[in-house]
Structure 1
Amino acid sequence: MAVHRLDNRRPAPRTSSSGRQRRVLTLSPVPAGRLWAVYLLMAAGLCGLALRLAWVQVVQGPELLDRARAVQTQTITPLGRRRTIVDRQGSLVALDEERFTLWAHPRYFAFPGDDIGKLRSPLDVARKLSSVLALPMADLVRTMEGRKSGVKLSTDLDPETAQRVRELGISGIDLEPYPQRVYPQGNLFANVVGFLNLERVPQAGLEQSRNSDLRRHEATRQLRRGADGTPLPDGLKAGVLYGDDLRLQLTLDARLQQVAQMALSKQVKQWKAKRGVALVMDVRNGELLALASTPTYDPNQFWKFKPGLFREWSVQDLYEPGSTFKPINLAIALQENAIDPAGKVNDNGQLTIGGWPIFNHDRKGNGVIDFPTVLQVSSNVAMVKAMQRVKPAKFWNWLHALGIDTKPDTDLPGAVAGQLKSLETFRTQPIEPATAAFGQGFNLTPLKLLQLHAMLSNGGKLVSPHITRGLRSGDDLAPAPAANGLQLIRPEIAQTVLNWMETVVEKGSGKGTYIPGHRIGGKTGTAQKAENGVYIAGARITSFVAHLPINDPRYVVLVVVDEPKGANAYGSTVAVPVARQIIESLLVIEKIPPSKPVAG
Structure 2
Amino acid sequence: MMKLEGALYPWRFRVVLGLLGLMVAAICWRIIDLQVLDHAFLQGQGDARSVRHVPIPAHRGLITDRNGEPLAVSTPVTTLWANGKELQAGKDRWSALAAALGQEPKAFAARLEENAGREFMYLVRGLTPEQGQSVLDLKVPGVYSIEEFRRFYPAGEVTAHVVGFTDIDDHGREGVELAFDQWLSGVPGKREVLKDRRGRLIKDVQVTRNAKAGKALALSIDLRLQYLAHRELRNVVTEFGAKGASLVMLDVKTGEVLAMVNQPTYNPNNRRNLQPAMMRNRAMIDVFEPGSTVKPFSMSAALESGRWKPTDTVDVYPGTLQIGKYTIRDVSKNEGVLDLTGILIKSSNVGISKIAFDIGAEPIYNVMQQVGLGQDTGLGFPGERVGNLPNHRIWPKAETATLAYGYGLSVTAIQLAHAYAVLANNGRSIPMTMTRADGRVQDGVQVIPEATAKTIQGMLQQVVEAPTGVFRAKVPAYHVGGKSGTARKATVGTKGYTANAYRSLFAGFAPISNPRIAMVVVVDEPSTGAYFGGLISAPVFGKVMAGALRLMNIAPDNLTPADVQPAVAVTIPRGLAR
The TM-score range, normalised by the shorter chain, is 0.7 to 0.9
SS in 2 for 1:468: coil
Q: Deviations over 1:265-284 (max 9, x none)?
A: 12112211121101100111
Aligned to 1:519: 479
Q: Deviations over 1:453-478 (max 9, x none)?
A: 11001111122333224xxxxxxxx7
* 1:254 Cα offset (Å): 1.7
One-letter identity of the residue aligned with 1:296: T
Which of 128, 144, 156 matches 1:158? 128
SS in 1 for 2:158: coil
One-letter identity of the residue aligned with 2:65: D
Aligned to 1:177: 147
Is contact 2:164-2:175 (8 Å) kept?
yes
Task: Indicate the larger mover: 519-528 or 506-515.
Answer: 506-515
The alpha-carbon distance between structure 1 residues 106 and 53, as it changes in their structure 2 partners (threshold 3 A), is same
Is contact 2:478-2:558 (8 Å) kept?
yes
1:598 matches 2:567: no
Which of 352, 355, 359 matches 1:390? 359
Specify every segment of 5 or more residues in structure 2 that has no aligned partner in the other structure, as ranges. Answer: 1-26, 195-201, 563-578
The alpha-carbon distance between structure 1 residues 201 and 353, as it changes in their structure 2 partners (threshold 3 A), is same
Is contact 1:126-1:140 (8 Å) kept?
no
One-letter identity of the residue aligned with 1:342: T
The share of aligned pairs that are identical, in percent, is 27
Q: Deviations over 1:268-318 (max 9, x none)?
A: 122111211011001112111111001122222334122233221222222
The alpha-carbon distance between structure 1 residues 120 and 527, as it changes in their structure 2 partners (threshold 3 A), is closer
SS in 2 for 1:389: helix
Q: Deviations over 1:38-82 (max 9, x none)?
A: xxxxxxxxxx999844342345x3422314655896623243643
Report 1:409-488 matches (<5 A).
Answer: 409-426=378-395, 429-469=396-436, 479-488=438-447
Report 1:216-231 matches (<5 A).
Answer: 216-220=186-190
Is contact 2:58-2:212 (8 Å) kept?
no
Is contact 1:122-1:144 (8 Å) kept?
no
The alpha-carbon distance between structure 1 residues 405 and 543, as it changes in their structure 2 partners (threshold 3 A), is closer
What is the distance in 2 between the residues matched to 1:397 and 1:104? 64
What is the distance in 2 between the residues matched to 1:300 and 1:78? 24
What is the distance in 2 between the residues matched to 1:352 and 1:377? 19
What is the distance in 2 between the residues matched to 1:320 and 1:445? 9
Considering only CA atoms, is the larger Rg found in Structure 1 or Structure 2?
1
Aligned to 1:288: 257
The alpha-carbon distance between structure 1 residues 51 and 439, as it changes in their structure 2 partners (threshold 3 A), is closer
Aligned to 2:16: none
Q: Deviations over 1:198-235 (max 9, x none)?
A: 454543222223222221133545589xxx979679xx
TM-score by length of 2: 0.79
Is contact 2:489-2:503 (8 Å) kept?
yes
Specify every segment of 5 or more residues in structure 1 that has no aligned partner in the other structure, as ranges. Answer: 1-47, 110-118, 470-477
The alpha-carbon distance between structure 1 residues 273 and 74, as it changes in their structure 2 partners (threshold 3 A), is same
* 1:161 Cα offset (Å): 3.7
Is contact 1:144-1:151 (8 Å) kept?
no
* 1:516 Cα offset (Å): 3.0
One-letter identity of the residue aligned with 1:360: D
Report 1:329-344 matches (<5 A).
Answer: 329-344=298-313
* 1:480 Cα offset (Å): 3.5
* 1:494 Cα offset (Å): 0.9
Is contact 2:158-2:230 (8 Å) kept?
yes
Is contact 1:396-1:423 (8 Å) kept?
no
Is contact 1:285-1:484 (8 Å) kept?
no
Is contact 2:290-2:487 (8 Å) kept?
yes
Report 1:95-174 matches (<5 A).
Answer: 95-102=73-80, 155-162=125-132, 174=144
Report 1:85-100 matches (<5 A).
Answer: 85-100=63-78
Q: Deviations over 1:231-250 (max 9, x none)?
A: 679xx5xxx43643521221
Aligned to 1:257: 226
SS in 2 for 1:300: coil
1:563 matches 2:525: yes
Report 1:71-90 matches (<5 A).
Answer: 75-79=53-57, 81-90=59-68
What is the distance in 1 between the residues matched to 2:363 and 2:417? 23
Is contact 1:190-1:299 (8 Å) kept?
yes
1:267 matches 2:236: yes
* 1:95 Cα offset (Å): 2.5
Is contact 1:192-1:412 (8 Å) kept?
no
Report 1:16-95 matches (<5 A).
Answer: 52-58=31-37, 61-67=39-45, 75-79=53-57, 81-95=59-73
Aligned to 2:502: 540
Is contact 1:457-1:553 (8 Å) kept?
yes
The alpha-carbon distance between structure 1 residues 103 and 143, as it changes in their structure 2 partners (threshold 3 A), is farther
* 1:451 Cα offset (Å): 1.1
One-letter identity of the residue aligned with 2:509: H
The alpha-carbon distance between structure 1 residues 69 and 292, as it changes in their structure 2 partners (threshold 3 A), is same
Aligned to 1:21: none
Aligned to 1:490: 449
What is the distance in 1 between the residues matched to 2:108 and 2:186? 40
What is the root-mean-square deviation in Å for CA atoms of aligned residues?
A: 3.7
Aligned to 1:530: 490
How many residue pairs get aligned? The number is 523
SS in 2 for 1:328: helix
SS in 1 for 2:308: coil
What is the distance in 2 between the residues matched to 1:581 and 1:383? 30
Is contact 1:103-1:173 (8 Å) kept?
yes
The alpha-carbon distance between structure 1 residues 493 and 231, as it changes in their structure 2 partners (threshold 3 A), is same
* 1:197 Cα offset (Å): 3.3
Q: Deviations over 1:518-538 (max 9, x none)?
A: 111111111222234412222
Task: Indicate the larger mover: 267-276 or 96-105.
Answer: 96-105
The alpha-carbon distance between structure 1 residues 242 and 386, as it changes in their structure 2 partners (threshold 3 A), is same
The alpha-carbon distance between structure 1 residues 247 and 578, as it changes in their structure 2 partners (threshold 3 A), is same
Is contact 1:205-1:311 (8 Å) kept?
no
Is contact 2:76-2:128 (8 Å) kept?
yes
* 1:425 Cα offset (Å): 4.2
SS in 1 for 2:544: helix
TM-score by length of 1: 0.77
Is contact 1:271-1:564 (8 Å) kept?
yes
The alpha-carbon distance between structure 1 residues 526 and 63, as it changes in their structure 2 partners (threshold 3 A), is same
* 1:576 Cα offset (Å): 1.4
SS in 1 for 2:296: helix
The alpha-carbon distance between structure 1 residues 431 and 123, as it changes in their structure 2 partners (threshold 3 A), is closer
Is contact 2:250-2:421 (8 Å) kept?
yes
